[in-house]
Chains A and B, each alone.
Chain A
Amino acid sequence: MTTSRLARGALWAGIAIAGAAAFGGIALNRGESINALWFVVAAVSTYLIGYRFYSGWIATRVCGLDATRATPAERLDNGRDFMPTHRSIVFGHHFAAIAGAGPLIGPTLAAQFGYLPGTLWLLVGAVLAGCVQDMLVLFCSTRRDGKSLAHLARDELGRFGAAAAMLGTLFIMIILMAVLALVVVKAMAHSPWSTATVFATIPIAILVGIYLRFLRPGRVMEATVIGVSLLLLAVAAGGWVDHHPVLHGWFDLGERALAGFVIAYGFVAAILPVWLLLAPRDYLSTFVKLGVVFLLAFAIVILQPEIHMPAITRFVDGTGPIFSGELFPFLFITLACGAISGFHALVASGTTPKLIARETDVRMVGYGSMALESFVAIMALVAACVLDPGVFFAINTAAGVVGADPATATATISSWGFPVSPGQMQELAASMGEQSLYGRTGGAPSLAVGMAHIFGSAFGDGLFAVWYHFAIMFEAVFILTVLDAGTRVGRFIMQDALGAIWEPLGRTSWGPSAWAASILVCAGWGYFLYIGVLDPNGGINILWPLFGMANQMLAAIALAVVTAIFVKSGRLRYAWVPGLPLAWLVTVTTTAAIQKITSDDPRIGFFAAAQDLATRLASGILPPERAAVAPKLIFNLQLDGWLTAALLAIVWIIVLDMARGCWLHLTGRRVATSTESPFVATRLA
């Protein structure tokens, strides 16, 4: 007994020492490069310790997870959505649902600050905030029959809180879809190979949909295997298209044409029956996503690539070329999903709580999945940092910032202290099967180059071009899934809201209403996508911070709901567990929003940028093609400024409303009725 206790103590001490040593190695390294394995060791030890101690303490002391209490899955079991499911399967479902493009793109962009700030916040933020949020929301929802976040907000904060949560959700979805669509467009622009491969995924998904609907109904495994094989074939076929004299020209499309295609695709996909395109695409994307995550982890451990990015770059002062703004608060806004993501609260209060068989599984599913998601973000950061810093900046910086021709761009980047030459970029582009890799903002291409580098070296080189386009296909497949699914869900939320104005508009099966709501949602994200394509500074530098702020504010709303529940359910002494991350998020988002609204620096402030552009337009110094789009950009910058102000107001009203409710409860002026479902003993063995 004592020996096993001793052994366990020694094991955890060993993990702690390994983690601390790895952290020390990462933070104090002053050499030319550092091995990526340090990052893996630091990350895994941090997650293990956070999981073992913090989540264990939260599970037993704070939540009081009770294995004898019947969960909604057991009590309301209907063999469909409510269904007790083994915890590893729930873990897989939950992870597949929360893992998206966010934790791949955010860390890639944040690598402009160097590897250290991003790594630290991804680990600390996940363990103390992100995993905690996911676990607590899952806990609260599981104790309340699997109710949604909007429903919980209505019960705890009132109608206004619910409406704000819904509005915040819709807004973040629209910005998210715009920014992700922009990422795909930037990756496909004038790249026939990428475009052909991504386009090919559409008929492949339809084929799989027809197979599942008519030929072998519901045989998901067979259909997925067929579909994934076809996807791999499509990657190879894209290379053939690229070398074909006629087809090459067909798929060599500019950003505006591609943006038009993507918007039309989103609309069509949202109104087509789900079985035809959306569901089969999702099966393929889930399979490919999980496969790539494990493949990447395996490759990083086997290959142990060297990181060439410095620990901290000069851009922490706010002059970053990829996005502007100082380390605080913009590192936190940019990393977003890999450390804490408000969107997860929607899944943790959606499908997942209806599958939890035993209340104690909440710990592994909620806390554990987010730790894994954070690990994906660490791998994305590693993939960005294995590139030569000069190459990294050449790929990720827009032409409007460094200049359009290779000589100017490479000279500008080299002058920052990150040497890169036109020849190096040309050689890299050729080895990746691309005409050019300059100014491919959005993070996807640089991640694909990093992944091609890692995969190519681990599994045989000479296939860089294939690995690159495989990585692009992988990112595009699930980004397009988010576009279809997001437009569809946005349509339902919109119809729900419109139904309050005129009842027939709320009927989801009524054709005209469905069409009108879909058009509204597509127009929403399509507008931001279109402006992003017009913007010579790349668009990402505006959209990503907007997305990050919205995402972190949604997390603040979710944590406010949890804090209110804690105060009212006799957990006041533990209210700091959700309360501290909440205070942090409110501080970060408020600082970022105020800077975005009031800063005089046109690279940071929306209104300052609008003013600056208007002045330059009036003085006639803009070249004609820039002058033509300037009025639209000016309008958009002002719109972004007002939207930021609206978001900020929503968050503060919710937080103050929550604080007021808690105060009334604590001073005994309002008696809270328990919103928990009553205890029922489990009958599961």
Chain B
Amino acid sequence: MNGATGMARTAWDCLRALLGDDAYDRYVAHRHERHPGEAVLDRREFYLAELDRRWARINRCC
């Protein structure tokens, strides 16, 4: 039972990571770990800033 839920959990985490659903959580974790006490962008600011960065260069192919 534990194995099955564990596998489902991993699959779910992978799917989230693939779509970028967990990008904000990872960013917050990174800021807390490396730059504790400093300001953190909120979810919306982070989302918009990320989009601008990501779509400024080639990331889709033929």
Q: Interface on A for B, CB 8 Å cutoff? A: 77-81, 83, 85-86, 88-89, 92-93, 96-102, 148, 169, 176, 180, 212-213, 217-221, 224, 274-275, 278-279, 282-283, 286-287, 290, 336-337, 341, 343-344, 346-347, 350-351, 481-482, 485-486, 488-489, 492, 508, 547, 551
Encode B22-62 as 1/0 by CB contact (under 8 A) with A.
01101101110010000000111011101111111111111
Q: B55 contacts which of A92, A224, A274 (Cβ < 8 Å)?
A: A274
Smallest CB gap from A86: residue in B: B17
Least CB distance from B11 to A in Å reads 11
Smallest CB gap from B62: residue in A: A102
Residues of A within 8 A of B58 (CB): 169, 343, 346-347, 350, 485, 489
Q: Does B60 lie within 8 Å of A482, measured CB to CB?
A: yes
Q: A213 contacts which of B42, B48, B55, B56 (Cβ < 8 Å)?
A: B48
Q: Does A79 lie within 8 Å of B30, measured CB to CB?
A: yes
Residues of B within 8 A of A78 (CB): 30
Task: Kindly name the residue among A79, A93, A350 whose own CB sees the greatest number of chain B CB atoms within 10 A.
Answer: A79
Q: Does A99 lie within 8 Å of B61, measured CB to CB?
A: yes
Least CB distance from B60 to A in Å reads 5
Smallest CB gap from B24: residue in A: A218
Q: B43 contacts which of A217, A279, A282 (Cβ < 8 Å)?
A: A217
Residues of A within 8 A of B17 (CB): 85-86, 89, 92
Q: How far is the CA of A97 from the CA of B20 in the complex (A)?
A: 13
Q: How far is the CA of A613 from the CA of B24 in the complex (A)?
A: 59
Q: Does B61 lie within 8 Å of A218, measured CB to CB?
A: no
Residues of B within 8 A of A102 (CB): 61-62
Residues of B within 8 A of A101 (CB): 62
Q: A341 contacts which of B14, B46, B61 (Cβ < 8 Å)?
A: B61
Q: Does A77 lie within 8 Å of B44, measured CB to CB?
A: no
In the complex, given contacts A224-B19, A347-B59, A486-B60, what are 14 additional A-B residue pairs having Cβ atoms less than 8 angstroms apart? A79-B26, A93-B18, A97-B60, A100-B62, A102-B61, A169-B58, A180-B62, A217-B47, A218-B23, A275-B48, A279-B54, A287-B19, A346-B58, A350-B58
Task: Kindly name the residue among A282, A287, A482 whose own CB sees the greatest number of chain B CB atoms within 10 A.
Answer: A282
Q: With contacts A100-B61, A221-B21 known, is A80 near B50, CB below 8 A?
A: yes
Q: How far is the CA of A92 from the CA of B17 in the complex (A)?
A: 9
Q: Does A337 lie within 8 Å of B48, measured CB to CB?
A: no
Q: Does B19 lie within 8 Å of A347, measured CB to CB?
A: no
Least CB distance from A370 to B in Å reads 11
Least CB distance from A322 to B in Å reads 19
Q: Does B62 lie within 8 Å of A218, measured CB to CB?
A: no
Q: Does B59 lie within 8 Å of A212, measured CB to CB?
A: no
Least CB distance from A603 to B in Å reads 25
Q: Does B51 lie within 8 Å of A274, measured CB to CB?
A: yes
Residues of A within 8 A of B18 (CB): 89, 92-93, 96, 286, 290
Q: How far is the CA of A279 from the CA of B23 in the complex (A)?
A: 14
Q: Does B62 lie within 8 Å of A283, measured CB to CB?
A: no
Q: A100 contacts which of B23, B51, B55, B60 (Cβ < 8 Å)?
A: B60
Q: Does B16 lie within 8 Å of A485, measured CB to CB?
A: no
Residues of B within 8 A of A344 (CB): 61
Q: Does B44 lie within 8 Å of A218, measured CB to CB?
A: yes
Q: What are 6 A-B pairs with beta-carbon distances under 8 A?
A: A77-B30, A81-B53, A83-B30, A218-B46, A488-B55, A488-B56
Q: How far is the CA of A98 from the CA of B60 in the complex (A)?
A: 6
Q: Does B47 lie within 8 Å of A218, measured CB to CB?
A: yes
Least CB distance from B49 to A in Å reads 8
Q: Does A221 lie within 8 Å of B59, measured CB to CB?
A: no
Q: With contacts A80-B50, A217-B43, A485-B60 known, is A286 near B19, CB below 8 A?
A: yes
Q: How far is the CA of A102 from the CA of B44 in the complex (A)?
A: 35
Asked if B8 is an interface residue, CB under 8 A from chain A, the answer is: no
Least CB distance from A74 to B in Å reads 12
Residues of B within 8 A of A290 (CB): 18
Residues of A within 8 A of B26 (CB): 79, 83
Asked if B15 is an interface residue, CB under 8 A from chain A, the answer is: yes
Residues of B within 8 A of A283 (CB): 19-20
Residues of A within 8 A of B47 (CB): 212-213, 217-218, 275
Residues of A within 8 A of B20 (CB): 220, 283
Q: Does A97 lie within 8 Å of B48, measured CB to CB?
A: no
- 6 A-B pairs closest in CB distance: A79-B30, A102-B62, A217-B44, A218-B47, A221-B21, A220-B21
Smallest CB gap from B23: residue in A: A218
Q: How far is the CA of A218 from the CA of B54 in the complex (A)?
A: 14
Q: How far is the CA of A212 from the CA of B46 in the complex (A)?
A: 12
Q: How far is the CA of A176 from the CA of B55 in the complex (A)?
A: 18
Q: Does A221 lie within 8 Å of B16, measured CB to CB?
A: yes
Least CB distance from B48 to A in Å reads 6
Smallest CB gap from A95: residue in B: B18
Least CB distance from A373 to B in Å reads 9
Q: How far is the CA of A145 from the CA of B35 in the complex (A)?
A: 22
Q: A92 contacts which of B14, B23, B51, B53 (Cβ < 8 Å)?
A: B14
Least CB distance from B34 to A in Å reads 7
Residues of B within 8 A of A279 (CB): 51, 54-55
Smallest CB gap from A177: residue in B: B62
Residues of A within 8 A of B48 (CB): 213, 275
Residues of A within 8 A of B27 (CB): 79-80
Smallest CB gap from B42: residue in A: A217
Q: With contacts A79-B30, A79-B31 known, is A88 near B14, CB below 8 A?
A: yes
Least CB distance from B44 to A in Å reads 4
Q: With contacts A212-B47, A221-B19 known, is A492 near B56, CB below 8 A?
A: yes
Q: How far is the CA of A148 from the CA of B59 in the complex (A)?
A: 12
Q: How far is the CA of A282 from the CA of B18 in the complex (A)?
A: 12
Residues of A within 8 A of B23 (CB): 218, 220
Least CB distance from B23 to A in Å reads 7
Residues of A within 8 A of B30 (CB): 77-79, 83
Least CB distance from A87 to B in Å reads 11
Residues of A within 8 A of B62 (CB): 100-102, 176, 180, 336-337, 341, 343, 482, 547, 551
Q: How far is the CA of A77 from the CA of B42 in the complex (A)?
A: 20
Q: How far is the CA of A553 from the CA of B55 in the complex (A)?
A: 25
Q: How far is the CA of A499 from the CA of B3 in the complex (A)?
A: 57
Residues of A within 8 A of B14 (CB): 88-89, 92
Task: Kindly name the residue among B20, B30, B44, B61 whose own CB sees the greatest number of chain A CB atoms within 10 A.
Answer: B61
Q: How far is the CA of A99 from the CA of B18 in the complex (A)?
A: 14
Q: How far is the CA of A486 from the CA of B53 in the complex (A)?
A: 15
Smallest CB gap from B44: residue in A: A217
Least CB distance from A392 to B in Å reads 23
Q: A481 contacts which of B16, B51, B52, B60 (Cβ < 8 Å)?
A: B60
Smallest CB gap from A169: residue in B: B58
Q: Does B57 lie within 8 Å of A489, measured CB to CB?
A: yes
Residues of B within 8 A of A89 (CB): 14, 17-18
